[in-house]
Amino acid sequence: MNTAQTLPGDIELRISASPVPYREALAEMTERNTAIAAGEARELIWFLEHPPVYTAGTSAATSDLLDPRFDVVEAGRGGRYTYHGPGQRVVYVLLDLKKRARDARGFVHALEGWVIDTLTDFGVEGFRSEGRIGIWTQDVDGREAKIGAIGVRIRKWVTMHGFAVNIHPDLAHFTGIVPCGIEEFGVTSLARLGKDAQFEVWDTALLARAPRFLAALETKCPRETTE
């Protein structure tokens, strides 16, 4: 079951109550991306959850697939291998950047900022790390760990894919891959950090910050902030 609402700018917000198989979501997202580019569909921000799956980005290295215990899907997005599964909130963002700043780096920067800002509502300090894709934080053992993954594709200036934040997934499922090709750092979640780990709570906080995210897309991102 899906619930649909409208965000500022007549953007459709869809929240899927049941897990959506990754291949099914990818096909629908690809079709919607094409329709948005043709002016035949509204923009879409889609909150969902997947059954366990490993997805391969365009830079995925075979050596990073350690144990293909789940389905492995070529996603077409940037990046390397990523895990999606129960307890992880995935957000697909399909927006027409022709209506905004045509700035791919700025779009990714804004996505990162949306997650980082929302994490502060849970008392978690998220941050970008030079040379490492994703959203990072300090884990319970004091080491840096990834709490959110970013992966996007832009076709005809219409975005697709988006980000995934670990709310309460089984972190052991990540051990089948080298997440994003980075071996020396682990993954963490809001639940592992002792924070309220319900989708409803996370979604409410994320949506409260959506207007700021959308406003950030109106301005080209300064180059020095993305180096």
User: 53, 180, 206, 221: which one is catalytic?
Assistant: 180
Q: How far is 28 from 36, CA to CA, in rounded Å?
A: 12
Q: With b meaning 16 or more CB within 10 Å and e meaning fewer, what string describes 155-184?
A: eebbbbbbbbbbbbbebebbebbbbbbbee
Name the nearest CA neighbour of 176 among 76, 26, 55, 22.
55
Any residues with CB less than 8 A from the CB of 24 and at least 6 apart, and which? Answer: none
Structure tokens at 122: 């849970």
Tell me 160's DSSP state.
E
Question: Residue 55 burial by CB count (10 A; 0-12/13-18/19+): exposed, middle or buried?
Answer: buried
Catalytic, 180? Answer: yes
- Enzyme catalytic residues: 180
